[in-house]
Structure 1
Amino acid sequence: MRPTSARLLNIFVPIKRTIDYAVKIRVNSAQTGVDLNVKHSMNPFDEIAVEEAVRLREKLKDEKPFEQHSQWEPILEFTLRSRILHHHLSLSASRKTLRALIEKQKEGVDLVILGKQAIDDDAGQTGQMLAGLLNWPQATFASKVVVDTVKKEVTITREIDGGLQELRCRLPLIITTDLRLNEPRYASLPNIMKAKKKPIEKIKPSDLGIDLTPRIETIKVAEPPQRVGGGKVENVDELIAKLKEAGITPVKS
Structure 2
Amino acid sequence: MESHLPWLEPNDPMPTPDCAWGMGTPAPGLLAAGGALNTSTLRKAYAQGTFPWFSEGQPILWWAPDPRMVLNTSDFKLHPSLRKTLRKFRDAPHCSIRVDSAFSSVIHACATRERTGQSGTWILPSMVQAYEQLHNEGIAHSVETWIDGKLVGGLYCIALGKAVFGESMFAYATDASKIALAALVCIAREHGIPWIDCQQNTRHLASLGAKEMPRDLFLTGIQKLHRQPEIPWGFKSVYWSQLLPN
TM bracket (short chain):
under 0.3
Q: TM-score, normalised by structure 2?
A: 0.25
Larger radius of gyration: 1
Normalising by structure 1, we get a TM-score of 0.25
